[in-house]
Amino acid sequence: MDKPNTLDDWLAYCERLHPHAIDLGLDRVRSVAERMALRFDCPVITVAGTNGKGSSCAMLEAILGQAGYRTGVYTSPHLVHFEERCRIRGEMASADQLLPHFERVEALRGDISLTYFEFTMLAIFSLMAESKLDVVVLEVGVGGRLDSVNIIDADCALITSIDIDHTELLGKDRESIGFEKAGIMRAGKPVVVGDPVPPQSVIAHAAEVGADLWRLGHDFNFSGDKQQWAWAGRGRRYAGLAYPALRGANQLVNASGVLAALTALRDRLPVTAQAVRNGLGMVELPGRFQIISGQPTLVLDVAHNPHAVAALTENLDAMGFYPCTHGVFGAMADKDLTQMLKRVGPLVDRWYFTDLPTARAARAEDLLATWRALSTRQDGRASVYADPVQALQAAVAAADPADRIVVFGSFYTVGGVLKDGLPRLFAPHAAPERHASSTDT
């Protein structure tokens, strides 16, 4: 093929390069990283977990940025722009910044085949490594032990939550999944575990490798009332904190783990109480229980597994009464769709199931069939659509001003609405189209 010229060209090229969308293992990607002499000359925080990773990375970035540090953050997947995956000093990287690093990976990989995730990750790491950063935050993709991000030895590991997801890759129970996520731990380095009831495999692995384990409820804790909250752990205490700007009860658990990670690194990355307050108050992350006020109210959430949908359900319940809740839903076929629909089902009055632009997605008709098998009411409360924008259009047309529309599930579902649906129907800032990876969820 002709040499890729644009970022979209490179992303399309990366999609075709490897026979599998996900191919867990470190040997291939580590070999290329060694050829690139890839390393970070600053503290690194690695974030793994079933849910809460993106929120935790955003809070770390916001607090460290408020403390004056030059931050670099890698996350995945993206919602609209591929460039969302790389943030340098609080700003999304540009295509022009990234292109030389895609060329560098291609020049040095030789005959080593890389997946989309591996190739793009190496390009982003290459950009970050040359950006004279003070601290790097890396979000793990799938699991931890065999995820490509784990080629980097982190100075602090943060594990947010551990629940059932990606069972075909990580195992069918929390103990197996916990073992995979525990693979990001390093000997003598702090590991913060924010899950209130972590699997024994996580605790055992910390002891086995000699990591410095920080457990929620043991080494740090939080408390709060309706107005404010407080955190305490290992010689540090924060009182009278305003709630994080990210909505949802689960964000307090995420914030607590973030403060533990920052406390564990305080000798190398000291932060003031004011930086903590400002960072938590200013943090932003689209698609995480994001409420767009209007008539009707719109809620966007990338809840794409039963654990995340349980949190979404709790947050929706806390919003108060709405005459009718309309649910726009699309998800990957390998998710536990029955449990997801069963959990949120009592809160949704009308369903709008959508196809998604990837072969991994469940068909809208299959989602409808799953819902019908659970529902006792077969009165035309559910319909199917070719894409998330058409589903949202139908929901907007059917909704009264006092109603609520909830768009949730895959990143493709929420990202499709953010890219094309909101500019047309709710008129915020429109976002240009970017290529989405087949490994996104």
pLDDT the model gives residue 166: 61
Per-residue confidence band for 433, with pLDDT thresholds at 50, 70 and 90: very low
Query: Average pLDDT, stretch 82-92?
Result: 97
238 sits in which H/E element = strand 236-241
State the pLDDT at residue 436. 37
CATH of the domain spanning 7-282: 3.40.1190.10
> Peptide bond before 77: cis, by omega within 30 degrees of 0?
yes
CA atoms of 88 and 38, how far apart (whole Å): 17
Pick left, alpha or beta for residue 126 (phi over 0 → left; psi -120 to 50 → alpha; otherwise beta). Answer: alpha
> What string of DSSP letters covers 356-418?
-SSTTBPPHHHHHHHHHHH-S--SS-EEEESSHHHHHHHHHHH--TT-EEEEEESHHHHHHII
Q: Where are the chain's structural domains?
A: 7-282, 290-425
Mean pLDDT confidence for 29-42 = 97
* pLDDT recorded at residue 293: 84
**Residue 73 to residue 92: CA distance in whole angstroms:** 9
| Amino acid at site 350 | R
What CA–CA distances, in Å, run from 68 to 93, 199, 275, 298?
A: 19, 36, 9, 35
For residue 367, the tally of other CB atoms under 10 A from its CB is 25
For every residue of 186-214, DSSP letters joined together read -TTSEEEE--SS--HHHHHHHHHHT-EEE
Please check whether residue 162 is in contact with residue 49, taking contact to mean a CB–CB distance below 8 angstroms.
yes
- CATH classification for the domain delimited by 290-425, as one of 3.90.190.20, 1.10.10.10, 3.30.2130.30, 3.30.390.30: 3.90.190.20
End-to-end CA distance of the chain: 29
Contact 165, 50 (CB under 8 A): yes
pLDDT at 423: 61
SS3 26: coil
Model confidence over 263-300: pLDDT tens digits?
999 999 999 999 999 999 999 999 999 998 889 999 99
The one-letter code for the residue type at 8 is D
φ, ψ (nearest 5 deg) of residue 238: -125, 125
Model confidence band, residue 116 (pLDDT cutoffs 50, 70, 90): very high
414-432: average pLDDT: 66
Cα–Cα dist 214/160, whole Å: 12
Range of 257-261, 334-338, 378-382 with top mean pLDDT: 257-261
Q: How high does pLDDT run on average in the chain? A: 91
Q: Is the pLDDT of residue 384 over 60?
A: yes
Q: What is the pLDDT of residues 294-329, one digit of tens each?
A: 899 999 999 989 989 999 999 999 999 999 999 999
Q: What separation in angstroms does the CA of 406 have from each of 128, 298, 424? A: 36, 6, 17
CA 14 to chain centre: 21
Ranked by mean pLDDT, the top range of 23-32, 120-129, 175-184 is 120-129
Contact 410, 363 (CB under 8 A): no
Q: Amino acid identity of 52?
A: G
pLDDT tier, 432 (very low <50, low <70, confident <90, very high otherwise)? very low
User: In this predicted structure, what is the pLDDT of residue 429?
Assistant: 36
The DSSP code sequence of 111-170 is T----HHHHHHHHHHHHHHTS--SEEEEE-SSSSTTSGGGGS--SEEEE----S--HHHH
What is the mean pLDDT of the segment spanning 35-54? 95
Q: Which of 52-61, 135-144, 430-439 has the lowest mean pLDDT?
A: 430-439
% of residues, the chain, pLDDT over 70: 92
The H or E element spanning position 45 is: strand 44-48
pLDDT digits (tens, 9 = 90+) for 204-224: 999 999 999 999 999 999 998
CB 441 within 8 A of CB 88: no
Provide the pLDDT for residue 152. Answer: 97
At CA 15, angle to CA 14 and CA 16, rounded to 5? Answer: 90
> What pLDDT was estimated at residue 431?
33
Mean pLDDT within 402-421: 92
The closest of 176, 112, 110 to 143, measured between CA atoms, is 176
pLDDT band at 64 (very low <50, low <70, confident <90, very high): very high
- 77 has a pLDDT exceeding 80: yes
The secondary structure of residue 421, as a DSSP letter, is I
Closest CA to 429 of 95, 80, 85: 80
The answer on pLDDT for 72 being more than 90 is yes
Contact 250, 264 (CB under 8 A): no
**Residues 85 and 124: beta-carbon distance below 8 Å:** yes
pLDDT band at 441 (very low <50, low <70, confident <90, very high): very low
State the average pLDDT over residues 62-87: 96
Question: What's the mean pLDDT in 32-50?
Answer: 96
**pLDDT at residue number 439:** 40
pLDDT tens by residue, 17-27:
887 777 778 99
Question: How much is the pLDDT for 2?
Answer: 73
The answer to pTM > 0.75 is yes
Residue 33 pLDDT > 60, yes or no?
yes
The mean pLDDT of 359-378, rounded to a whole number, is: 88
